[in-house]
Amino acid sequence: MTQIALIRHGSTAWNKEKRSQGQTDNPLDQEGREQAALLAARLAEESWDAIYASDLVRASETARVIADRLGIQEIHLDPRLREMGGGQVEGTTEEERVAKWGADWSSLDLGKEHSDAGASRGKAALEDILQQHPNGRVIVVSHGAVLRNTMRALVPELDISVKLGNTSITRMVHQDQAWQCELYNCSTHLE
């Protein structure tokens, strides 16, 4: 059995402004660093074999805070764990999108990465991690949309309608050739 803790990165200024980040490389804000420290303290109550992260700074910085607390030296950066590409939407708020493209902007082809593409690369990354760490316990720090689409691909019956909170933990288990979700979007460490 392999256990994977899927983590969404800590908060950024664009999260607070409700701007679509996509693959824009934004750093954590102060609250994001504090969230990462609280998450690291929670994860330190267990033993972990490895940490993987998106190569975007908000995820890799979250992973570094966790790794430092856990005493794990190496963070494996994987661009397949990057957020879904937002195309022309990146950097805009909902209000700006409506003003520019109209109320049905989300139905337009604005260069956004298709959800199946994000799910495919996220699934491939997790399958490679599974091969590298059979029966291991691994932390993966990534981004909300790519993680939800990946989970949809791995566990189709899972309700992913609730967006993942910053530094939330979702626990996935791979056993008997199948994935299961044991915990979804848990942020009790922030309370």
Kindly state the tokens that stand for 42: 């929670």
Q: Does 91 show up as a binding residue in the annotation?
A: no
Q: Does 76 show up as a binding residue in the annotation?
A: no
Kindly state the tokens that stand for 3: 């256990």
Kindly state the tokens that stand for 181: 């979700």
Q: Is the C-alpha dihedral spanning 49, 47, 7, 178 positive or negative? A: positive
The two beta strands, 137-142 and 50-53, are parallel
Asked if residue 53 lies in contact with residue 79, where contact means CB atoms within 8 angstroms, the answer is no
83 is catalytic: yes
How far is 138 from 3, CA to CA, in rounded Å? 6
Q: What is the DSSP string of 72-110?
A: ---EEE-GGGSPPP-GGGTT--HHHHHHHH-TTGGGS-S
Q: Does 101 show up as a binding residue in the annotation?
A: no
Choose the catalytic residue: 9, 61, 90, 174. 9
Measure Cα distances from 20 to 12, 79, 87 in Å.
Answer: 11, 19, 10
Q: Does 41 show up as a binding residue in the annotation?
A: no
Choose the catalytic residue: 83, 90, 113, 174. 83
Kindly state the tokens that stand for 69: 């607390």
Q: Does 148 show up as a binding residue in the annotation?
A: no
Q: Does 12 show up as a binding residue in the annotation?
A: yes
Q: Does 93 show up as a binding residue in the annotation?
A: no
Kindly state the tokens that stand for 180: 């299961």
113 is catalytic: no
Q: Does 13 show up as a binding residue in the annotation?
A: yes
Q: Does 10 show up as a binding residue in the annotation?
A: yes
Single-letter code of the amino acid located at 146: V
Annotated binding residues, written as ranges, equal 8-15, 58
Annotated binding residues for substrate, written as ranges, equal 8-15, 58
Active site residues: 9, 83
